[in-house]
Amino acid sequence: MLAGLSVRQKVAQLVMPRLPGSYSALDDSAFLVAQRWVDSLEVGGIIIFAGSPFDIAAKLNVLQRRSRLPLLVSADLEWGAGMRVVGATTFPQIMAVGATGDPRDAYTIGEAAAVEGRAVGIHVNFAPDADLNNNPLNPIINTRSFGEDPRAVSKLVQAYVRGLRDHGMLATLKHFPGHGDTQADSHIGLPVITAGYAQLDTQELVPFRAGIDAGADVVMSAHIAFPAVTGDSGPATLSAAALTGLLRDSLRFHGVVVTDALDMGAIVTKYGSGEATVRAFLAGADLLLIPADPDSAVNAMTAAVASGRASRERLDASVRRVLEIKRRLGLLEHRTVPLDSIMRVVGAKRYQDAANDLAVRALTLVRDTAGTLRALRAKRSRLALIAYSDEGNATVGFTLADVLRRNGDTVDYFRLWPMSGPASYDSARSVLARAPTVVFASNVKPISSRGNIALPDSLARLITATDSGKPTVMITFGSPYLLNQAPTVKTYLLAWSGARACERAAARALLGYSPISGHLPIRLPPPSAYGVGFGIVIPDSTVPPLPPPVAQP
């Protein structure tokens, strides 16, 4: 196969543009572009984004049939196929697995992502995230990481990799050599990690070594500067010292190296689409993900080979790795997927049950100094529920409120948004004034290109003021570090994710129907206040039974 390809065709095998997974007609203008990528540009793969199972599978089947060689299809399925496939199983963010500390949970997420992803035509999962989230201000990793302890994270990374591999999907370790100790978002600019090699060797690189030992086939580079590794201020994605010297030579990784998206601000704003692609290839990357302009990327790479800037031998080595991956995945024999089997696989009950179970066991209680949570667990109550989330989650708190109401609590619900002004906060205070107990439910999560991860100051002040006057519970369905902004709150419960399974789990905890048994996989500031492994355990046996109903005269 390799011998039958021209230089331009070989180059195109390394380029993977992005395709929406939503429905489109065959003659839709956007889908015509994708067909041209396959027909004329002859790209080697596609990165699929969100859509329904049938839309994704049907789209990919059309492109696979048109392609001269089978397409390698990739997607981010960090917390299960539900991250990209509507209706597939949505697990909690993987830091919830850090809270249980059980490698079987990591394996199950990998297994489910593989089984459901392969059913719709996805072959490579851009996960697990092997970063150590050892910086509370990190705006883009956060709950996407298993935690910050290298040994604990390594065990979970290995289990996740095995779950994928055992069920026919390739695993990707990211973001090499580590994106956890940053305060900047590489979608916007270039973060710089000043740590020396000694720290990287004993911290950041440990989970990557473990994942490679477990058989990970792919490693994704980080758009981050590591002067101690690279010797300059450029990103690791464009550094031979990082991708060849450190990854291939020192860590002995022999699989496929992929770039993070080449249209991200840390790369494209300085180098442009074509030059960024060439530099990433020369640094040691095999697959070139989401160039800002796929045509420019192919043209620039072809010109680099023609001029001798990039050698034909190096090109052949990368293409051979990609073709070998396609052969191992069985794509040379079967490249399409049957649509009639999707409903038997995607979103199946066994994985939904596993997600619900994980959400319950991951709940982590950091504080309950006034006993507010225990009081709520002991009897049915009337409470105000003030919900807040970032963009994209208009239903935060809905499931929580619904489960509480169906089980006897009286709940007054009010929703705040990032753009909420004084009038909205006045309305929230009116709701708070009518209830004897308050629950604040927030979902603040990593969002690309936003650059920070925090509550609005006005909401943090409202939580602090309310907590000082009446029983208050603060539940976070996203970043665990929000205690920074409301440091005096007396009850603080971590549910890790905005998935419905996590809201149901939190409701069951408030009702006293489930134990609370999770432990912190990260430290919560102030320094040393709550270390890795901390967690207040409330077993079922401590919850008094509900009294029998009183007979009415």
For residue 416, what are the contacts with CB-CB under 8 A and spacing of at least 6? 386, 387, 388, 424, 425, 428, 459
Q: Which residue has the tokens 């984004």?
A: 49
Task: Give the number of other CB atoms < 10 A from CB of residue 88.
Answer: 28
For residue 453, what are the contacts with CB-CB under 8 A and spacing of at least 6? 137, 138, 139, 142, 444, 445, 446, 447, 478, 479, 481
Please name the amino acid found at residue 510.
L
- Number of helices and strands in the chain (H, E): 20, 15
Q: Which of 78, 107, 110, 111 is nearest to 95 (CA)?
A: 78
Distance CA 446, CA 191 (A): 16
**Phi, psi for 348 (deg, rounded to 5):** -65, 155
- Please state whether beta strands 256-258 and 18-19 pair in parallel, antiparallel, or not at all (unpaired): unpaired
What DSSP line would sit under 125-173, residue for residue?
E---B------TT-SSSGGGSS-S-HHHHHHHHHHHHHHHHTTT-EEEE
Distance CA 422, CA 326 (A): 56
- Catalytic pick among 123, 175, 179, 187: 187
In angstroms, what CA-CA distances link 340 with 113, 343, 412, 497? 19, 7, 44, 32
Taking phi over 0 as left and psi of -120 to 50 as alpha, with beta for the rest, 111 belongs to alpha
The question of whether 409 is a catalytic residue gets the answer no
β-sheet with 472-476: strand ranges across? 364-368, 491-494, 472-476, 437-443, 382-389, 410-416
Distance CA 197, CA 177 (A): 11
Distance CA 201, CA 550 (A): 65
- For residue 254, say if its preceding peptide bond is cis, omega within 30 degrees of 0: no
Are 436 and 429 spatial neighbours (Cβ–Cβ below 8 Å)? no
**Two structure tokens written together for 483:** 């205690």
Are 85 and 116 spatial neighbours (Cβ–Cβ below 8 Å)? yes
Are 440 and 425 spatial neighbours (Cβ–Cβ below 8 Å)? no
CA-angle at 84, arms to 80 and 88, nearest 5°: 55
Distance CA 290, CA 261 (A): 5
- Report the DSSP beta bridge partners of residue 511: none
Q: Which of 88, 16, 23 is nearest to 51 (CA)?
A: 23
The question of whether 213 is a catalytic residue gets the answer no
SS3 track for 183-207: CCCCCCCCCECCCCHHHHHHCCHHH
- Catalytic pick among 76, 105, 217, 260: 260
* Residues noted as catalytic: 187, 260
